[in-house]
Structure 1
Amino acid sequence: FRVPGLEPGTYRAWFQPLANAGPTGWTGVDREGLQAGEEDLRIPLAPAHVIAGRVLDAAGRPAGSGCRVLVIAEDSNGGGQGIGTGEDGSFRTSVLDPRRPFLLVAIREEDGGAAVLRGVCSGPGEVEIRLTAGRRLEGRLLGSDGRPAGPGVPVRILALLPTGETFPLDYRTESDPGGAFLFEGLPDLPWRLTAGGTDAEGRPADWLPLEREEPVLAGTGGLEIRLEPAFSIRGRLLDAEGGPLSSGWHLSARRGGRFVASARPGPGGAFELRGLPRGAVTLHAGSKGRTVDLGTVELPGETPAEWRVPAE
């Protein structure tokens, strides 16, 4: 192999055998400390160990090509690989170490079918994964006063390994007007649940983000999640003489030195900082390397309509 056009320096490279039709028999190797200009490198590739099998439906028939299979090492840091199935429900992939236990997670999203096969080791034989009806997970989002949080609050769940680490399998939904949320078609795994925070478009929501400390098991019902409200500060950013500041300026809010929100002023210097927590919040304005402390306010409570940046 040859990589032309490199600037002098030290590089990190990933050598990954590629094949359009399945495993190549070799796994990738990550190498650090490679110097531009080195010649006659020898990169030892590790032999791959194959996991092959088929996904079947509940009646034992091939599940077809609409399935996704994830292969995850149970003791890993959460990495996983997704594989599509063939028309006969078959899949084939490779893993580095056959001594490590793996999870095979199969999902057919069109009908909510799911299955988990544990303790799979690579070998010459095939494994079979039989789909069953996926599990449900449902609950309600409530405010700190016990009333429903209302519609549109984002809820996300991420699948967990026995180590407590997440791996790349997650589902998202939003609450209904009564604060209720529902996930269906889940594999039988523990999940980490988060709610509130930003909406689907990345904008701060009306509730502060919450991550449930205890894992939630698929099949759980009647779950209640209490959320804390998020607050906003609206106003205008002005210079010392009362003229609006907009282009090139930005605002940030901090709580105890920790960043919590930011915004840029629009026409007339108007701004809105959203997603702020209860308590004392300090505002800063910045432009071209200059940062100004605008003062501290207590939320919830009245906040100034105008925020002035003193002259330098």
Structure 2
Amino acid sequence: MSDVPEDAPEHCPGTQSEAAGKESACAGCPNQSICASGVTRQVDPAIEAIADRMRLVKHKILVMSGKGGVGKSTVSATLARALAERNPDKQVAVLDVDICGPSQPRMMGAENEQVHQSANGWSPIFIEDNLSLMSIGFLLGGRDDAVIWRGPRKNGMIKQFLKDVDWGELDYLIIDTPPGTSDEHISIVQYLLQASYVDGAILVTTPQEVSLLDVRKEVNFCRKTKVPIMGVVENMSAFVCPCCQTESTIFPATTGGARKMCEEMEMTFLGSIPLDPRVAQAADQGKSFLMEHADSPAATAFLDLAQKVTVACEKV
């Protein structure tokens, strides 16, 4: 029987190995210090606290991308708004675990807000009556402050977000992750899978092959860590002129784009979102693009995505 834990990162040497906790593959693993000390691996006591919080969250959705610049945070924020606006009786929240580049406070129009602590933990910032947000951006001294942390401190912050934020009862928790498959991804997946479950991951890409290459790595990460893949969103698939509605290709799908990749890798294609400059403008201003430009093709695409996510969650 293998001594490699099921939730271990790739190339884990195993808990009984002399190299346990000392290999490069161990960097960022929440269990690294325990393995390195030679003490038998134990369940993190924080898991129970995380489980208590997550019992009140019906659906947990990770939004991931293989590379930066594909609009993952924009998709996370707008999807959350779409779910909240389509279902006024549902409670929706966004957890921003992009520790080094927290952009959700700006996109949600809550950049100057501060987190308050009560007897029940940290209170998230409410954007609407049924839409809340938590981000490290609320905990920094200034908007230009850099987070220069090593893996263990990032892991600690993510753990604190999961066990100490008083979300209350939630229908949807959208988790905005940083690009890649690094410390933050390993931590959030391990903690959630040990304490609860994940409905699935939404992978965001753009049509060109240079983006799809990195998304394929994200697919393999999800499959190795046993995170269900809800589907793939092709963002900025084409430019739609806000004035004449003429569509132009900006990022050519030289290898068939996300739809072709989904066919090859047996995944669900969740749809294409056209490039509309007003999406970025709304994000910069902290406004809801869906309310400001409800008749745009991009708004229709986001609402369609929210509908597909709702249906997918109901099947879990």
- Give TM class, smaller chain: under 0.3
Question: Which structure is higher in strand share?
Answer: 1
- The TM-score normalised by the length of structure 2 is 0.22
Question: Which structure is higher in helix share?
Answer: 2
Question: Which has the greater radius of gyration?
Answer: 1
